[in-house]
Amino acid sequence: MRVLFFEIFESERNTIQKFLPSDLQAVFTAATFQSSELTPSSGDVICIRTQSDFPEDRMKDISAVLSRSTGYDHLRKLEDRPGMHLGYLPEYCSYAVAEHAVIMMMMLLRRIKKQTVQMTDFNREDLTGRQIPGKKVMICGVGNIGSEIYRLCSKLGMNCAGFDIDRRFEEVRYVSLSEGVQTSDVIICALPLTDRTEGLLDYKQLASGKSDKILVNISRGEITPAADLERLLTERKLSGVGLDVFADESVFADSLRSHNPVLVSDHQTLLRLQNREDVLMTPHNAFNTSEALEQKSLLTVQSLIHYQKYGAFPCEVSASA
């Protein structure tokens, strides 16, 4: 069986090769599926991350796609194709992503980006930050990642609350979304992207509450519209934003990599946000630790072996998922 790996990091390639059996033929490229010149053949398995798209003219011979991610909303566009197997990975990076969210929160509260800018002339004016203990944080989406964020914030002495329609953790103090927005110093988005959550944390939802609250999003960019975030910052209804995810991320990422002008208005907004001293952006990299990479690579190979043996992935997207 041949597997075409797209969006591959060099470090990821080396780790995956360590686990690959001899009867799996692997081809690696750093390019996304849509931008690669690799031509899939019948029977090939496509293995991607989250920024690949699926041009129709390249999908005619493909019946199996495995995403090296726990999120799978980007696979939904293929779920109606007859005989298509769409796989994803079980939980492997919850702590890594949670840690990244907390780091972003700390950097925003202590205004680290502005500090680094003003270091050029050792200017300490207007750099007063805020300490963490006693601050109120609401985690939106208390699943595997959200529960880790909740635990880490609790250990830091924060007053934690969670918002989720599925209240499955007994140790979590749950609140309504409106109550959490009204009282929180920090809002961290760890929600999955669904029809119900798309655009959920918009201007109308976030305009109330404390004017110096900060927002961190490590889940999906479509949940926090970029234009609304810019307006909230401009009107001083947010004091800081941290983003590791972006709407239409595959298009945005391809544009940045190719250094082509970004023409979509939302992406132009993101570029303006990137230049602000009260905004932190990272390239969807919260998952990327050496520990998580090892586990991710092992699970990827195990999923491919399972498909080779049984004709299905151990974790597959279903209509009810």
pLDDT in tens, 243-256: 999 999 989 998 89
Mean pLDDT of the chain: 95
Q: Are 111 and 162 in contact (CB under 8 A)?
A: no
**What is the average per-residue pLDDT within 34-54?**
93
Type of residue at 224: T
Question: Is residue 297 in a domain?
Answer: yes
- State the pTM of this model: 0.91
Give the per-residue pLDDT at 258.
87
Q: What count of other Cβ atoms lies within 10 Å of the Cβ of residue 305?
A: 17
CA-closest candidate to residue 22, choices 300, 299, 305: 305
Q: What is the full DSSP assignment across 229-260?
A: HHHHHHTTS-SEEEES--TTHHHHHHHHHHTP
Question: Is residue 316 in a domain?
Answer: no
Establish how many alpha carbons lie within 13 A of residue 160's alpha carbon, considering only the half-sphere containing its beta carbon. 23
Give the per-residue pLDDT at 24.
96
- Identify which has the larger pLDDT, 252 or 261: 252
Give the per-residue pLDDT at 321.
45
Residue 88 shares a structural domain with residue 118: no
- Residue 242 pLDDT greater than 60, yes or no: yes
Q: Are 227 and 266 in contact (CB under 8 A)?
A: yes
Using alpha carbons only, what angle is made at residue 274 by residues 104 and 201, rounded to the nearest 5 degrees? 65
Q: Are 180 and 225 in contact (CB under 8 A)?
A: no
Cα separation of 277 and 240, whole Å?
9
What is the band of 187 on the pLDDT scale with cuts at 50, 70, 90?
very high
- Residue 260 pLDDT greater than 90, yes or no: no
Q: Please state the separation of Cα 59 from the chain's center in Å.
A: 25
Residue 125 shares a structural domain with residue 141: yes
Question: Is residue 107 in a domain?
Answer: yes
Residue 267 shares a structural domain with residue 159: yes
Q: How far is CA 51 from CA 54, 199, 252, in A?
A: 10, 20, 9
Q: What is the pLDDT of residues 87-146, one digit of tens each?
A: 999 889 999 999 999 999 999 999 999 999 999 999 999 999 999 999 999 999 999 999
Q: Are 262 and 248 in contact (CB under 8 A)?
A: no
Question: Is residue 116 in a domain?
Answer: yes
Residue 118 shares a structural domain with residue 256: yes
Residue 105 shares a structural domain with residue 85: no
What is the band of 320 on the pLDDT scale with cuts at 50, 70, 90?
very low
Residue 42 shares a structural domain with residue 175: no
Tell me the residue range of the domain where 56 lies. 2-92+290-310
Q: How far is CA 158 from CA 99, 136, 144, 243, in A?
A: 15, 6, 19, 21
Residue 194 shares a structural domain with residue 207: yes
Question: Is residue 227 in a domain?
Answer: yes
Residue 221 shares a structural domain with residue 297: no
- Residue 61 pLDDT greater than 90, yes or no: no
Question: Is residue 59 in a domain?
Answer: yes
Q: Which long-range CB contacts under 8 A does 29-37 form with residues at least 24 apart?
A: 29/4, 29/5, 31/6, 31/7, 32/6, 32/7, 32/250, 32/253, 32/254, 33/6, 33/7, 33/58, 34/58, 34/250, 34/254, 35/254, 36/6
Give the per-residue pLDDT at 114.
98
15-24, 169-178, 246-255, 273-282: segment of lowest average pLDDT: 246-255
Question: Is residue 320 in a domain?
Answer: no
- Residue 240 pLDDT greater than 90, yes or no: yes
Residue 128 shares a structural domain with residue 269: yes
Give the rounded percent of residues in the chain with a pLDDT score beyond 90.
90
Number of domain units in the chain: 2
Give the rounded percent of residues in the chain with a pLDDT score beyond 70.
98
Residue 262 shares a structural domain with residue 139: yes
At residue 174, φ and ψ (nearest 5 deg) are -90, 145
Question: Is residue 315 in a domain?
Answer: no
Residue 208 shares a structural domain with residue 110: yes
- Residue 261 pLDDT greater than 90, yes or no: no
Residue 138 shares a structural domain with residue 204: yes
CATH of the domain at 17: 3.40.50.720
DSSP state of 79: T
Give the per-residue pLDDT at 254.
87
